[in-house]
Chain A
Amino acid sequence: MASDTITEGAARGRLWDRFSISTKRVIWAWTFLALPILFYAGIRFYPTLQAFWLSMTDWDLLRPANFIGLANYQKMFADPVFWKVFQNTFLYLLIGTPVSLIVSFLIAYYLDRVRFMHGLIRALYFLPFLTTAAAMGWVWRWFYQPLPIGVINSILSSIGLEQQPFLRSTTQALPTILVPAIWAGLGFQIIIFMAGLRAIPSTFYEAARIDGLGDWAILRKITIPLLKPTTVFIVVFSSIGFLRIFDQVYNMTTNDPGGPLNATKPLVLMIYQTAFSSYQMGYAAAQTVVLFTILLCVSLLQLWVLREKK
């Protein structure tokens, strides 16, 4: 093994030649990792610690930050707007995740059996995933306009139903904004579900048919249990997406961001406004810590669910 340095070594420095092959490989490894380590330390880890620290200061961009302990958190937990936003954020999650999970599973389940024009239909469902949320927010906003502009209200009135206020109503606005968010993510979830369905070995199905199980029994006893890892992935992925909703809300409510009366405001929009409209950086940092905590809980929950029954 030592002889392979003869040709290579001639071109290299003397010091390099003295290292053993394994030492050389270790040096290569750290050379490859040098820049990435700097990147992750400087642009991920340090800012994370800084966010925790800023959350305990009164930094407002103008004056240097002063340590004020947990005052930002006290202010936040005493702020009714924060609790409204907190509730909205969870409403996005609690409506968005189950609805998109069930709809995407149903579509994937049936689409998997379709062969006539399979590619075209799949493309129709997948296409919205590739759109820009900011642009689609405006398209949907137009859809929801009152008569005579809005598409949906025109359809409602043409079939004799009452016109709906949608984005102008404090009760309807939040689900209204959820629709484009669910719509955009559906294609992704369908593809993942179809990949999961195809990963189930066909021998399971054949055995079940020999045992005389019907479609429904096969779905309940084989398909759904075996899809568990896929389902957990989709639940976590979409939960995190709904908890971080911003683009749609921002673009669909630009005249009164998060309105009407904070009825649609999610945590990320509150963070954005606190930091970049009112420049209360310290207070905004405290809100990001709350978001971080919520997302961490979701991720830990995923690990726990996957570990429980293996």
Chain B
Amino acid sequence: MSSVTAPTGELAANRLNIRPGRIIAWTLLFIGGLIMVSPLLFMFSTSLKTAGQVYDLRLIPAAPTLDNYIKVLSDGRFMRWFLNSTFIALAVTVSNVFFDSLVGYTLAKFEFKGRYFIFLAILSTLMIPTEMLVIPWYLMSSQLGWLDSYWGIMFPGMMTAFGTFLMKQFFEGVPNDFLEAARVDGLNEFTIWWKIAMPMVVPAISALAIFTFLGNWTAFFWPLIVTTSKELYTLPVGLSSFAVEQSIQWEMIMTGAALATIPTLLVFLALQRYIVRGVMLAGLKG
């Protein structure tokens, strides 16, 4: 990925002439960018205001206060939803990194009858929308006692065809010589996968991990269906019920929305490079 090379269009005209068109384009892009983040700015700004100041639409509050945050966090619900979401997203991510890689590797590097059939079968599940499966999943969960449990929220996403496909693409680029050398050294196939092949596809693994985590962290539809007790809500579902409860107290709703947004923003600031590269990888290979 050539994310550091110069933009292609510039190569020929790589001189220091600053044309007015450039400046206009830059300014428009910058203003557009500010408009893009303005909902987030207004959200944070309002979360720092008192109920009486909500009507004052200045971005920088006259007297910023953390009272709303203290109020929202004091009953422990948001903390609980935050931990639920984190645990669920992490567990599903670990499962996907393990199984999608293992299956992708097996389909890329093993010769056996039925390999192509298995690959097509897994790939074909991409065509099935989640919405079609939720009713059978709900039936299944109620029969097996999975309703309103962590496992109930997690089980549908433990493996994905997208992740398997992505990992297969990358394992195909791993040279067989390395794997053969490990086989001659007497390593078993599981160790070869885990110790030799996996470290060679780290960029793909990080892309897969980031996507799976984000997708599950922000997931709304299935957690909304499968959970009924508030202690088991994920952060998006909890926030939605909290907002309905607050009715027109917009400063409280914005505080809740901010609490749901801050973790992903922090993750983004820490991992920006990997996330952008991951999106590019997924877009080009997927």
Contact = CB atoms under 8 A, between A and B. Distances in A.
B75 interface: no
A44 B40 contact: no
B220 A292 contact: no
A134 B283 contact: no
B60 interface: no
Contacts of A132: 217-218, 220, 235-236, 239, 260-261, 264
B99 interface: yes
Nearest to A179: B39
A113 B12 CA distance: 12
A54 interface: yes
B9 A112 contact: yes
A135 to B, nearest CB: 4
Interface stretch (B62-70, B117-125, B168-176, B200-208): B117-125
B127 A26 contact: no
Given A132-B260, A149-B54, A124 B37 contact: yes
B283 A191 contact: yes
A271 B131 contact: yes
B37 A127 contact: yes
Contacts of A134: 218, 220, 236-237, 239-240, 260
A299 to B, nearest CB: 6
A94 interface: no
Nearest to B267: A130
B135 interface: yes
A151 B111 contact: no
Interface string B1-40: 1110111111110000000001001101110111011011
Contacts of B268: 123, 126-127, 130
Interface string B31-61: 0111011011011001000000011010000
Contacts of A200: 8
A40 B121 contact: yes
Contacts of A205: 8-9, 11-12
A51 B135 contact: yes
Contact of B221 (A47, A198, A268, A295): A268
A301 interface: no
B133 interface: yes
A289 interface: yes
A298 to B, nearest CB: 10
A198 B29 contact: no
B9 A183 contact: no
Contact of A295 (B129, B220, B224, B261): B129
Contacts of A128: 36-37, 39-40
A36 interface: yes
Given A130-B264, A191-B283, A254-B244, 19 more contacts: A32-B102, A40-B159, A44-B133, A51-B132, A51-B136, A107-B29, A112-B8, A113-B7, A113-B10, A115-B7, A124-B37, A131-B261, A139-B40, A149-B54, A183-B36, A202-B11, A205-B8, A233-B283, A291-B132
- Which 7 interchain pairs have the tightest Cβ spacing? A124-B33, A47-B136, A134-B236, A192-B283, A195-B280, A135-B257, A29-B110
